Structure 1
């Protein structure tokens, strides 16, 4: 048997012959899924022509160099490959949810780095990893179909990229493992194979069948795999976003779905001319969710539904940005992923290791960013003030490119997928002056109690299947107005109450001291007296001060010390304002997460306003201002049917708001 060094030399000689003579090593040309060797010069020139792409390339090489240090054979997934991820099965690595993504990321990173750099060490290590992984376990032992999908992408991408650099024994090992896992995907008859809108709109469908399609194209002789994959990916593409491009699973899960769709769609179009992406007219609009959820200081997005504040594997977004020449989306992507943001350029979210490295557990992304990025596309800052997504989300801002700017979100809509939906209809967020004053709690706290909305007798909305509606949305001269209806989000057959009304109005007024006026009207069908609890959640590092002189509170931001005054304008006397004691409060009904993650105190601090009434008629004012500045004087007149609110600012401006259950009207005067 030849020593390892001789085997590597033979592979390099084979590769040189292939590169120089263009010899076709099999009936299926490799690499071909995403590029051929003949296309490499143009790809390299494109990367070299862009400063941000050159920086991204350096990160790719650094990641590939890190993979070179990975222990040699025998290959095994180790506990430190899964930092921050729970193991099932008593610590069995085969039960980890990110097993397949680790393989895909290692092999894809090394393989693409090898072609872009010309360094054959990367090919050698990628082959070592892929072959050893194939020999380490059987796909039937893995945790679920998602691991099968992730790993199948890894084997398909690796088989295509590394085919010219493998010997026949290695090709056979990899192809055999590829066929095993792809057969599992093809023969699957579980929930994710069903022709059902709730199934076809969820990322599981894309991950599962996009991987099957890549396997079909990689081996070239499995038309039945390709046919099934194409049908299922087409179903997902037609279901997973609304008419305005909003993926209702949220940014991170939409990106994970795109990781299943786009690589297969690109490879399929290259092989056959069939364009799955082009069949969905909303595809050019998908990056808008990232744009509008981006926090004013960049780097992060609002966490809504089961999503973190990161983009996850964002190469699919880059493909859409480049294909449709979306300059504003490129600007936002660079604010989040570029040097000014996280600095990983799509290479993954920050690691749980706390060392400012990207997580190994994200899907393959950075190599695709380099393959799909367009050096000729110049970023452009957006200029719109607000945006309404048709499935029921409204985002509002006072501008772009200012880390002290304001961002407001309002959600009341439908989630096509259900599984990742939080019970948060009519909820809002508010960031201003560099602070997160009213937050969405993120991944785990799914219940209504954890969102900025209202409980009835301590009861929240239906889990997963609740829905709301945007009744009105209007950009006005000095404000943005939105009204939502969350009545259908509450259980209709509840023995304790049935709501006839659950409307919230929100008026956002930008300015040096931006403010929100929030009006809530809720009532049961029997018009009985109930206990209503108005909730606001702020960042755990912020400080909450309950004001003794009036019904209200003050939030002191932890980033810069900026303030948010919370004035309870109605009810005037019977309302109770307090900070909740969360020391013994836990998230209900959640499995497979730690007790620490179930503790509500880990995720937010909570302000509540309680009242008992037929209709609470909550009217609440949130005003952001710099510490040390004079807040507006607030005066009210009237009653819950027609309340006049007058804000007098120190610069002589006076805003008068007329609040009714139907609308909020603003007029402005100035004495200077």
Structure 2
């Protein structure tokens, strides 16, 4: 199927249907493709999906269904699929069912109103594509009824409503969903008999589209409204962008290069085991309508890893639960092990890219990603299913996409060894107390007073330095913490491959460290370090004496039973007039929107199993708390994944220069020395002398031979007198 610029121009000129996403010749080719291979599997699944809907469409009052709430109507979600099955099979009964469904839209949604449900219904219903397919099966009266509705209820009102404010919030999902789908409706009816010339409206809508493509996504391709809302917007916009390219009216790939980067950005947030994205926002972990945008961008950008992503993801319970009545619409078909696609007509259209799918590791996709606009970082130790993935959120927000921002600056999510250890709590969890950040005196810096509303104070990503051995990033959350200053530093230290003598022989997993630097008001405070974990994970707290100095905790994952050990390093007791204190505890956290989610336990119980909440909103979840008391919030946390049955690492705080933190971590035959210096850059501990902000030195435990090292923003590093690094100080952020 061609999406080359202007490839359908002649079809529009000659008044030929279909033309919007496929042409008559494409239909003929599809009839051949559905007889074998992927085409046959998708088509068989499509037939099964629409079969029970056919009888319903032929007998039910579809107008009443759509009028109640069209996005809950199954017929809305599957109408294009219904039309495609009818035409490919040449089934009169299926075609008639599709026609009845199509004509129910103008009958049910006859006026735009304050909320234009007619335009919104196009966003997820794609019924203009059904009209395009069914055109030759409709009477002139039926064509006119639908076309008149598109022109007078969808296109014209959408343009008028957008004029006062659209350009000021062009990145937000609601104005996009109520406006830009009108373009798809217009492409379906443009030039048909009796349809007026809407050249002015067309140009105005194209201008709005250009604004949204630039406002809804950053220059690096990440959606301003995050995983969930932002990815759904991407999938929906592609349903207009790609047909416009075929029509020769607009080429987003040349006018807006960031559009071509959307899939590549999303790829960096896929869970190591696939199936879902690592949630970052106020909706869920899914990529709704992923097939068209990922399929097209895989081809257009020559990125076979995007075809892999299309098949690695699945339609999560987030979508199914949100649209329970339309749940059958989200049927997926497994084409081969680890590769599934939505059972939709759009999957048939882009299926040529499926066989070219290449795993990110084989495609050479980098393991680090930084989005400069949104201020979010994805770091992973590799592309394997048990590799460590950490997401650090700088919470930079755009005024053009207000509505679903969280107070998430400094939040980290961690997946490792096939477990989701440190989670994003998703929808309705806006405040700091719902994120893996530090609370000052146990409270969020900014309160929503129990309401479900966006956070208006932004954060800032201040550092991003990926490396072969250690990846590093930092944020400033002072604005959200509402204090003198609040900074977090994070490192991902790469592990070692499996070999005999290292832990249990399964290798040493990559681990994560954070360093906090918080000043409430030049006085003593209690700083609550938080880690929200998956609902079915369990937390065990240990006190001093378990192969560590000070208290520690262990999180057991529910997916495979693997572990994450958490340790904490405080300043030396003599550093301040009163020594820092620490106490570990755990509780069950719930939504900060308690006036909106009034019974979180009941909401949680509606899920088949507690872990299903991960896909949309964690109404309740276990939370580990490390309550550190001190004149400031300066301390370190270590998060060390290990396989079930492997011995925990030995952790020892080391003496170091005042106003620095140093620790030894012993993993079997290997030890890591981690030193972090606040301001003075004196990295000195255990025979290591360096000048920089931080360093990690890996040594053989017995011989002390250095087998790896990294120096952060430094000029020199010596170990036992041997020089490992020297040079000018380097800052690699922008």
What TM-score does the superposition give when structure 1 sets the normalisation length?
0.82
Q: Which residue of 2 aligns with 1:669?
A: 699
Q: Distance in 2 between matches of 1:588 and 1:543?
A: 25
Alignment partner of 1:575: what SS?
Answer: strand
1:131 paired residue among 89, 103, 119: 103
CA contact (8 A) 1:28 1:219 kept: no
CA contact (8 A) 1:586 1:598 kept: no
Match status 1:519 vs 2:515: yes
Matching of residues 574-589 of structure 1 within 5 Å: 574-582=581-589, 586-588=591-593
CA drift of 1:165 comes to 0.7
Q: Which residue of 2 aligns with 1:503?
A: 488
1:319 paired residue among 293, 296, 299: 296
Matching of residues 226-375 of structure 1 within 5 Å: 226-314=202-290, 315-337=292-314, 357-359=328-330, 366-375=344-353
CA contact (8 A) 1:414 1:467 kept: yes
Alignment partner of 1:607: what SS?
Answer: strand
- Does the C-alpha gap of structure 1 residues 259 and 566 become closer, same or farther in structure 2, counting only changes over 3 Å? closer
- Does the C-alpha gap of structure 1 residues 531 and 398 become closer, same or farther in structure 2, counting only changes over 3 Å? same
CA contact (8 A) 1:385 1:397 kept: yes
Match status 1:67 vs 2:53: yes
Q: Which residue of 2 aligns with 1:641?
A: 659
Q: Distance in 1 between matches of 2:129 and 2:666?
A: 63
CA contact (8 A) 2:386 2:418 kept: yes
Q: Distance in 2 between matches of 1:460 and 1:94?
A: 42
Q: Distance in 2 between matches of 1:593 and 1:179?
A: 43
Q: Which residue of 2 aligns with 1:424?
A: 408
Alignment partner of 1:72: what SS?
Answer: helix
CA contact (8 A) 2:227 2:281 kept: no
RMSD (CA atoms): 3.4
CA contact (8 A) 2:57 2:100 kept: no
- Structure 1 unpaired stretches of 5+: 1-23, 82-92, 492-497
Q: Which residue of 1 aligns with 2:360?
A: 382
Q: Distance in 2 between matches of 1:186 and 1:171?
A: 21
Moved more, 310-319 or 53-62: 53-62
1:182 paired residue among 133, 145, 154: 154
Query: Between Structure 1 and Structure 2, how many residues are aligned?
Result: 612
CA drift of 1:156 comes to 2.5
Q: Distance in 1 between matches of 2:397 and 2:602?
A: 24
CA contact (8 A) 2:477 2:485 kept: no
CA contact (8 A) 1:394 1:409 kept: yes
Match status 1:202 vs 2:232: no
Match status 1:531 vs 2:511: no
Q: Which residue of 1 aligns with 2:438?
A: 454
CA contact (8 A) 2:395 2:406 kept: no
CA contact (8 A) 2:581 2:630 kept: no
1:465 paired residue among 438, 456, 459: 456
Matching of residues 72-221 of structure 1 within 5 Å: 72-76=58-62, 94=67, 96=69, 98-99=71-72, 102-136=74-108, 138-140=110-112, 144-145=115-116, 148-151=119-122, 154-183=126-155, 185-186=157-158, 188-189=160-161, 193-196=165-168, 199-220=169-190, 221=196
Match status 1:608 vs 2:625: yes
- Does the C-alpha gap of structure 1 residues 657 and 137 become closer, same or farther in structure 2, counting only changes over 3 Å? closer
Match status 1:410 vs 2:392: yes
Alignment partner of 1:189: what SS?
Answer: helix
CA contact (8 A) 2:285 2:316 kept: no
Q: Which residue of 1 aligns with 2:474?
A: 483
Q: Distance in 1 between matches of 2:294 and 2:12?
A: 34
Alignment partner of 2:360: what SS?
Answer: coil
Q: Which residue of 1 aligns with 2:16?
A: 29
- Does the C-alpha gap of structure 1 residues 643 and 186 become closer, same or farther in structure 2, counting only changes over 3 Å? closer
Q: Distance in 2 between matches of 1:251 and 1:39?
A: 33
- Structure 2 unpaired stretches of 5+: 1-10, 191-195, 332-341, 447-453, 497-507, 545-549, 574-579, 605-616, 680-692, 704-734
CA drift of 1:109 comes to 1.1
Q: Distance in 1 between matches of 2:423 and 2:163?
A: 34
Q: Distance in 1 between matches of 2:218 and 2:599?
A: 34
CA contact (8 A) 1:422 1:464 kept: yes
CA drift of 1:287 comes to 0.9
Q: Distance in 2 between matches of 1:116 and 1:348?
A: 28
What TM-score does the superposition give when structure 2 sets the normalisation length?
0.76
Q: Distance in 2 between matches of 1:597 and 1:499?
A: 39
CA contact (8 A) 1:328 1:380 kept: yes
After superposition, give the CA deviation of every residue in 1:50-107 in whole Å (9 maximum; x if it has no partner).
Answer: x4454333332322223213253442378xx8xxxxxxxxxxx7464725x7554222
- Does the C-alpha gap of structure 1 residues 320 and 393 become closer, same or farther in structure 2, counting only changes over 3 Å? same
- Does the C-alpha gap of structure 1 residues 291 and 514 become closer, same or farther in structure 2, counting only changes over 3 Å? same
After superposition, give the CA deviation of every residue in 1:457-502 in whole Å (9 maximum; x if it has no partner).
Answer: 33325543332222222233322121222123344xxxxxx32343
Q: Distance in 2 between matches of 1:396 and 1:106?
A: 38
Q: Which residue of 2 aligns with 1:84?
A: none
